[in-house]
Amino acid sequence: MIHDGPELLTIGQLARRTGLPVRTIRYWSDAGALPVVDRSEGNYRLYDAESVARLELIRTLRDLGLGLDDVRAVVAGEITVAQVAARHVSALDAQIQSLKVTRAVLATVAKRGSTAQEMTLMNKLARLSAAERARIIDEFTAEVFGGLDTTDPDIRTRLRFGIPDLPDDPTAGQVDAWVELAELLQDPEFRGAMRKVIEFNAAGRTAETPAGSSLWFMSRLVHFAGETRRRGVAPDSEGAREVLGELLGDADRAAVLALIRSASAARVSRLRELIAQVQGMETAPDYREEFSWVVAALEDELSR
């Protein structure tokens, strides 16, 4: 049938007017996104001026990454541009987050020189769901603090919320830190060492110990050691022994030394660093110098 209305364009003319290849226009037309207006006597496709505007819209939507099904629905008026854009934004957000995780895993593999097996584990840890990540944290707190929270009822709750989950929109550095944190929290040796540290602190609590001070001993130790170091007191001096007496009283010096070494072996400072990195904060202080001073002072006292 010959169209008796406004000027119609062949697919070649439409291609020249829009700058699009004929094969692209034909493909979009076959997919239903660009309906044929009429056919020539030779059965060639014909399009009108509105087809030019439709093609521009289709090109824009395709450039933005929309699939042909969505494009066809927009052109047909079944869904608005705003609706399909909102839906596509959500899909892109998920894709971007996935790409961030992929990049972080690959960067960590390159940095560590990991094997294929280690890379597989890191990728699995990085892609855990929020529920699976929460389970790792809950299992860690249960094993480390189980039965000890009677001495400080909210100790487990405070630590549970002190260990952060991976943010919804993590940076590569946060994914990297989370992978290492997850490995650390699942390490049986680390859990055992942390348990010993917490047991020592729990055993030293009294009725006078302030509420919420489950790690009160370590906090006091850091404070005393820091003040003493700033006064220039050497760890092998009489002044150091007086400070230890004030801090420890009649406590078994060998047991205290074992505790501090256990805390170091437990990589507590690394745990603090990783938590800060996942939270997107500056690295927390590790107090290595304060602990080193106390270790030296205890070793000197025990050697006498």
**Tens-digit pLDDT profile for residues 96-150:** 777 777 777 777 778 778 788 777 877 887 777 778 888 888 888 888 877 765 5
Beta partners for 10?
A: 46
User: Please, are residues 131 and 108 in contact by the beta-carbon 8 Å criterion?
Assistant: no
State both tokens at 36: 């044929």
Which among 220, 197, 225 has a CA at the least distance from the CA of 288? 225
State both tokens at 201: 């602190």
Which residue's entry shows tokens 């080193």? Answer: 292
Domain boundaries, the chain: 9-78, 144-164+188-303
State both tokens at 193: 């060492």
What's the pLDDT at 104? Answer: 76
Q: Is 43 helix (H, G, I), strand (E, B) or coil?
A: coil
Instruction: Catalogue the long-range contacts made by 245-252 (C-beta closer than 8 Å, 24 or more residues apart).
Output: 247/220, 247/221, 251/204
N-to-C CA span, the chain? 112
- Which residues contact residue 48 at a Cβ distance below 8 angstroms, ignoring those fewer than 6 apart? 5, 6, 7, 8, 9, 37
CATH of 9-78, one of 3.30.420.40, 3.30.460.20, 1.10.1660.10, 1.10.10.10: 1.10.1660.10
pTM: 0.53
Residue 160 buriedness (CB in 10 A; 0-12 / 13-18 / 19+): middle
| Per-residue pLDDT in tens (0 to 9) along the chain, 304 residues | 444 556 888 899 989 988 999 999 999 988 888 888 888 888 888 988 888 888 888 888 888 888 888 888 888 888 888 888 888 887 777 777 777 777 777 777 787 787 887 778 778 877 777 788 888 888 888 888 777 655 555 555 555 557 777 777 777 788 888 888 888 899 998 888 788 777 766 665 554 443 333 455 666 777 778 888 888 889 888 888 888 888 777 778 887 787 777 665 557 778 888 888 888 876 666 677 887 888 888 888 888 7
